Structure 1
Amino acid sequence: MFMVRKYKQDRWYWPELGNLADAEQASNAGSWAAVFCAAVTAIVAAISMFSGKSILGINAMAFGDAAVFAVIAWRIRARSKSFAVIGLVLFILEKIYQFATQPQVLGFGLFMAIILTLAFASGVRGTFAYHRMREALALERAAAQEA
């Protein structure tokens, strides 16, 4: 039986998923990563729009990208497995493109990319674990009611 009790997570970068609360917390990490991407992209796009020049390859067209990550954050928070995977894949593809076209961001950008990739991966793991544990709890409750 899966307990809904929280315990201290030892590894923020690859959390244990021993219960439903842990799965929710890991899933939320992916949601917060998407919120961070949406916010930073929107801020840089706004600065780019008002300054009239592209900043690190980001221009006013990036508002669309920010909106996509905002939707991804919302759906990951609703425990959508498909949006958790889409968020991770889209983030990785965008980072590959950014590093290929804007090599000057490799320093701090690579560090942040690793942190956010781990958060998105936790989101995927947590979302899938959440659904697996919810199904197991539902089956246990159904079996207990029949007995």
Structure 2
Amino acid sequence: MALPKNIEWIWPSIVDTTTAQKASKQGLWASAWCAGATIVFVVLAQFGSQMFNFDSSALLDAFLFIIIGWGIYKMNRIAAVAGLALYIIERLYMWSASGPKNPAIAIFITLMFINSIRGIFAYHKIKKAQI
């Protein structure tokens, strides 16, 4: 069942390699968001802001999300699964430390990583069937 076009990003239809690649790119954008937001919060923390207790060690997380994003761009299954796993682990850690904050964004980004996994695995399955 296809969703209306304006909300298909929630659970995109994957029928060929093109739609699989399109769905997988959601993980790339989720990784970019996670890396970018982390870098912004680290920079703010360096200037004295204590919004989320970020310090320079959080740059490792940003670096990991950049690497994961690159892997997703290259249609790597391990990178897609690692992106979801790292995001969930970090989200659980942050919520245990400071309580749940903005679960809507967490759900949104989690869906993006899930769609990336769906897209990448479907892409490889379709490519293998074409051989």
Flag structure 2 segments of 5+ consecutive residues without an equivalent: none
Flag structure 1 segments of 5+ consecutive residues without an equivalent: 1-7, 139-147
Higher CA-based Rg: 1
Identity among equivalent positions (%) equals 32
Q: Which amino acid aligns with 1:110?
A: P
How far apart are 1:19 and its partner, in Å? 1.1
**TM-score after normalising by structure 2:** 0.91
How far apart are 1:50 and its partner, in Å? 2.3
Cross-structure match for 1:50:
47
How far apart are 1:9 and its partner, in Å? 7.8
The answer to whether 1:92 aligns with 2:83 is: no
> CA separation in 2, counterparts of 1:86 and 1:78?
14
Q: 2:45–2:53: 8 Å Cα contact kept in structure 1?
A: no
Q: Give 2:120's match in structure 1, choosing from 122, 127, 130.
A: 127
Cross-structure match for 1:117:
110
**TM-score after normalising by structure 1:** 0.81
Once the two structures are superposed, the pairs formed by residues 22-37 of structure 1 within 5 Å of their partners are: 22-37=19-34
> CA separation in 2, counterparts of 1:78 and 1:85?
14
Q: How many residues align?
A: 127
> CA separation in 1, counterparts of 2:53 and 2:104?
18
TM-align CA RMSD = 1.5
> CA separation in 2, counterparts of 1:131 and 1:99?
35
> CA separation in 2, counterparts of 1:130 and 1:54?
42
Q: 2:11–2:115: 8 Å Cα contact kept in structure 1?
A: yes
How far apart are 1:57 and its partner, in Å? 2.6
SS in 1 for 2:33: helix
